[in-house]
Amino acid sequence: MRALIAGSGPPLLLVHGFPLSHQMWLPQIEHFQSSYTVIAPDLRGFRDSDISPGIVTMEQHARDLNVLLQDLKIEDPVSYCGLSMGGYIAWEFWKHFPDRLHALILCDTRADADSEEDVNNRLKMADLVLRHGPEAISTAMIPNLISESSQQNQPHISEHLISMIEATDSEGIAASQKGMAARSDFSDLIKDIHIPTLFIVGKEDRLTPPAVMQQMSTQVLESKYFEVSDAGHMAPMEAPDLVNQAIDDFLSTRLNS
Ligand code: MLT
């Protein structure tokens, strides 16, 4: 697995969403590298990392992250920050490697599994990408990924998202899409999370709306909930200053106290 490593200090692991790469975190990498060792991988099948055709489960991604941390000789527990699919992987990482976690930052994600309709849509999308490439889905995904105001006022974000999606291998996209379709339901388990957890969501997020994130935050004992105005599903890209500030405040009050 390839990863961008920057800075020094306590480890901060940034796990990207679907079908993107570590590049979605550029504003966070730039901001946090002055005080943290930022580790921003490209998950299996994405950008520069190896591709496994077929299906890549969320557990496989979590195991890959554990191997990455072993290879990097990171022994201190990490602050794990994941967006959407990066959040689905967070639940598996917490289940299998709880001692590796210091804190969780969950952006625009959910804990429940897919409905039958969601599964069918994912399988159709995987098939479409395998037959026609990522160009068949890239532009159509934008309205679900970012808010209307970001689409109008920050066109560079749409361009960056489209270029990340189109640079991703079709087999890699299909394999994680099938992995998400098969993911486990963690909605009854997250009440057992006993580490500081920050939930961040864009107010205009259509895929994982604020109500879903807020409900999850009430289940986790030591949690904090933060909504980002004018942002959609990609809040860390759309409103990096607000998101970085929320993460800074959370990490400094929860971890240094
Ligand atoms: C993501 O941003 O990672 C995706 O929206 C996850 C999903 O398709 O459920």
Strands 101-107 and 197-202, sheet pairing: parallel
pLDDT digits 0-9 by tens, 83-136: 999 999 999 999 999 999 999 999 999 999 999 999 999 999 999 999 999 999
pLDDT of res. 256: 57
**What percent of the chain is predicted at pLDDT more than 70?**
98
- Tokens of residue 126, six digits: 């995987």
Distance CA 69, CA 118 (A): 32
181 within 8 A of 114, measured Cβ to Cβ: yes
Q: In what order do the strands lie in the sheet with 3-6?
A: 3-6, 37-41, 11-15, 78-83, 101-107, 197-202, 223-228
pLDDT of res. 14: 98
Residue 88, SS3?
A: helix
At 255, is the pLDDT very low, low, confident or very high (cuts 50, 70, 90)? low
With a 6 Å cutoff on the Cβ, whether 195 touches ligand 1 is: no
Q: How far is the CA of 91 from the centre of ligand 1 (A)?
A: 14
Q: How far is the CA of 246 from the centre of ligand 1 (A)?
A: 22
Angle between helix 170-181 and helix 116-132 axes, rounded to 10 deg: 170
The beta strands (E) that lie in 7-116 are given as 11-15, 37-41, 78-83, 101-107
pLDDT at 227 > cutoff 70: yes
Nearest CA-CA partner of 47 in 166, 179, 175:
166
Q: How far is the CA of 256 from the centre of ligand 1 (A)?
A: 32
81 within 8 A of 206, measured Cβ to Cβ: no
Q: How far is the CA of 213 from the centre of ligand 1 (A)?
A: 14
- Share the mean pLDDT of the chain: 97
pLDDT of res. 254: 66
pLDDT of res. 253: 85
Determine the average pLDDT of the residues in 46-57: 93
Element (H, E) at 160: helix 155-166
With a 6 Å cutoff on the Cβ, whether 17 touches ligand 1 is: yes
Residue 27: asked if its preceding bond is cis (omega within 30°), the reply is no
pLDDT digits 0-9 by tens, 150-207: 999 999 999 999 999 999 999 999 999 999 999 999 999 999 999 999 999 999 999 9
pTM: predicted TM-score of the whole model, two decimal places: 0.97
pLDDT of res. 239: 98
Specify the ligand 1 atom closest to the Cα of 86: 3
